[in-house]
Structure 1
Amino acid sequence: MSIKIIHVGLGGWGGNWAVNAIPAVAEVEVAAVADPNPATLKSVRTKLGLPEAQAFPSLTAALEAVDAEAVVITAPAVTHVPLALEALEAGKHVLVEKPFANTAEEAATAARRAEELGLVLQVSQNYRNYPAPRAVQRMLQENAIGELAAISIDFRKWDNDLAFEEHPHYRFPHPMINDMAIHHFDLLRKITGEEAVRVYTKVKDPSYSKYLEEASAVITIELASGLVVSYRGSWVSRGAPTAWAGDWHIAGESGEIYFTSRGGPDDDPGAADVVTLRRPGGEAEPVELAPQDLFGRAAGLRLFADAIVNGTTPETVGTANLGSLALMEAAARSAASGRVEDVRLP
């Protein structure tokens, strides 16, 4: 059985979803696409080979015209919750790109409404759907390195060449925290099973940064257990670039785990996933990773379809994603205030 979906938001990353992520998932069928930009709508519709009757200028128009069980939202972040609520009130399940919303309180409104209506609202936290973080999560659950002492995360990319007017990241609100670090915050919650309670962010970009807001950040995160996490991220680093999931070092009483993820080519995105385990006095040994046939967004979309058909609960269901948003929100508040900020779950 395939789930019929309406895909709304086709520009930029949304167009990439339409062409690369959604077609890989046999469990879903595109019933309609929607975007307010006529040129974008036509371009994506043509690439997908869809007739004009399946293309609409808005989600409202698509909901009125086609029969579908679910809506996939890849429109700009400020529209996520309004579109999600519209779809939910129409009786549709919803998969929404990250960040779920710009505030945790706003996200909670949609997440709780989905629960009231008995509908699935899943957030696409695609970095979870790779073999390395899944393996590390299992290792920590099995106490592979004993009591944890510290976690450090490094993310480095150079994304500072285009003219300001040509690059959407340059205008993105809190581009390091809201657009990138949110992935790492969410992975942190996944692998440790813990929530963050306090955070301190320091931002100071070089003069050559073309970003309106922070292109780099150093963030200290305190988890509920008291464990302290050190995060360093940059869009304007000339250092050796990391994979998209960053470089992770997890120190424990009886060893250290290193992992990196989401650095492989488009045709084999899990190829660069690496996990190693080093015992005191020994060499780092590779950890065998479980094979996967789908990764990232496509794997998450399959989980979404399974939740609709079989009644399972996705691990990134809306209410479960609020901790990642609350940490993101607190990190941005700290960047502005210069103070340690509490992570407040709505």
Structure 2
Amino acid sequence: MMNVVLVGCGAMSRQWLDAASRIDGLAIVGLVDLDAERARARAVEYGLANAVTGTSLDAVLDQTKPDAVFDVVVPAARRDVALSAFAHKCHLLTEKPLADSPENARTIVEAARRAKRVHAVVQNRRYVANVRRIRRFLDSGVIGAATSIHADFFIGPHFGGFREEMDHVLLLDMAIHTFDAARYMVAGEPAGVFCQEWEPAQSWYRQGSSASAVFDLGGGKVFTYAGSWCAAGFRTSWEGSWRIVGERGSLTWDGHDGLKAEAVVSGRDGLMDKTEPVGVPALDPSDRVGGHLGIIQDFMHAIETGTEPETRGADNIKSLAMVFGAIESAETGRRVAITREGP
């Protein structure tokens, strides 16, 4: 049995607790929130009568001595939660983003390494079936190596609350899903970015609801991202809308079930190379899917087997570096180099 304390009992905690309730061998033994009543309410809602609730993570960890911590707090509190978890010799699974700054991200990853604890991030767009299928298709070489990756993200949600007041709202709160998916699908290593943010006249956000970025993903791969969180009409999927151009063909994905590919064949049709449709392989039984559920299961498996989860912090920091690189570029108006640890 793996005992877990969950910290941060806001709305997002329901996705975690829904997933946890479906996993045999996992027990939520503690719930922590700055609002004691909210922690108690979650315990009642999920039938966790024996779970310890409280406002102090250290106190609940001292009392329950769990194997792991689930971190669902706001990003600004993530560093303190991580250091507390590792000090209590707990493994840590955290909601995205890994941290609220490059410095805090490096601190958390290094603390996990020193503590020799498993540390992973809920980067759940990797656990979407078509993302797995695209990676497998590209690895097959049918359309050659990917050279150009394009993603559009246009949705207009009225969240209310903190998002409508935060800085860099699209890049900091949402774009990492798309950035991480792009990096995963084409095995990219981010090296640089140029980005512009703006606030359209119709926006109900304070700052940064629209952005356009061009990333160097290494090896001749360029990734373009165009996004808005105040675009009404013709909205994309939450997964975005994609076109990936390879050396010998292209793949498109509408973010839903529309996944198509064409490969170059011999001959030309006027000025154009001839192409023909090619199949994208079905999901393989070994492919990890399932959103929060799949990630939690992967995290538990890593702890039980002494291996590393796919979305380990030491790797996810590269996707976070894309976010902070884009923000720095937007703020300075210049291209920003990206390293493994950040801009």
Q: Give the SS at the match of 2:121.
A: strand
Distance of 1:127 and 1:30 partners within structure 2: 25
Contact persistence 1:68–1:92 (CA under 8 A): yes
TM-score when normalising by structure 1: 0.89
Question: 1:67 Cα deviation (Å)?
Answer: 2.9
1:1-346 matches, within 5 Å, as 2-18=1-17, 20-51=18-49, 54-160=52-158, 166-261=160-255, 272-280=256-264, 281-283=275-277, 285=279, 287-290=281-284, 295-346=290-341
Structure 2: give runs of 5+ residues left out of the alignment. 265-274
- The change in CA–CA distance for 1:70 and 1:153 in structure 2 (over 3 A counts) is same
Question: 1:58 Cα deviation (Å)?
Answer: 2.1
Question: 1:49 Cα deviation (Å)?
Answer: 1.4
Deviation string, structure 1 residues 91-111 (Cα, Å, up to 9, x no partner)? 000001110012223112111
Contact persistence 1:131–1:273 (CA under 8 A): no
Contact persistence 1:196–1:323 (CA under 8 A): yes
Deviation string, structure 1 residues 107-162 (Cα, Å, up to 9, x no partner)? 121112212221101111111112111111122222221132311101111114x6
- The change in CA–CA distance for 1:151 and 1:294 in structure 2 (over 3 A counts) is closer
Deviation string, structure 1 residues 274-308 (Cα, Å, up to 9, x no partner)? 43222243347554234679611110000001011
Equivalent pairs, count:
330
TM-score when normalising by structure 2: 0.90
- The change in CA–CA distance for 1:287 and 1:117 in structure 2 (over 3 A counts) is same
- The change in CA–CA distance for 1:47 and 1:242 in structure 2 (over 3 A counts) is same
Q: Give the SS at the match of 2:191.
A: strand
Contact persistence 1:71–1:87 (CA under 8 A): yes
Higher alpha-carbon deviation: 282-291 or 302-311: 282-291
Contact persistence 2:260–2:280 (CA under 8 A): yes
Distance of 1:244 and 1:25 partners within structure 2: 26
Distance of 1:283 and 1:137 partners within structure 2: 18
Question: 1:260 Cα deviation (Å)?
Answer: 4.6
Contact persistence 1:108–1:318 (CA under 8 A): no
Contact persistence 1:27–1:302 (CA under 8 A): no
Distance of 2:102 and 2:335 partners within structure 1: 18
Distance of 1:24 and 1:294 partners within structure 2: 15
Seq. identity, %: 29
Report the RMSD for the aligned CA atoms in angstroms. Answer: 2.0
Per the alignment, residue 269 of structure 2 pairs with none
Q: Give the SS at the match of 1:279.
A: strand
Distance of 2:212 and 2:331 partners within structure 1: 13
Contact persistence 1:70–1:94 (CA under 8 A): yes
Distance of 1:317 and 1:53 partners within structure 2: 27
Contact persistence 2:128–2:290 (CA under 8 A): yes
Q: Give the SS at the match of 2:282.
A: coil
Per the alignment, residue 267 of structure 1 pairs with none
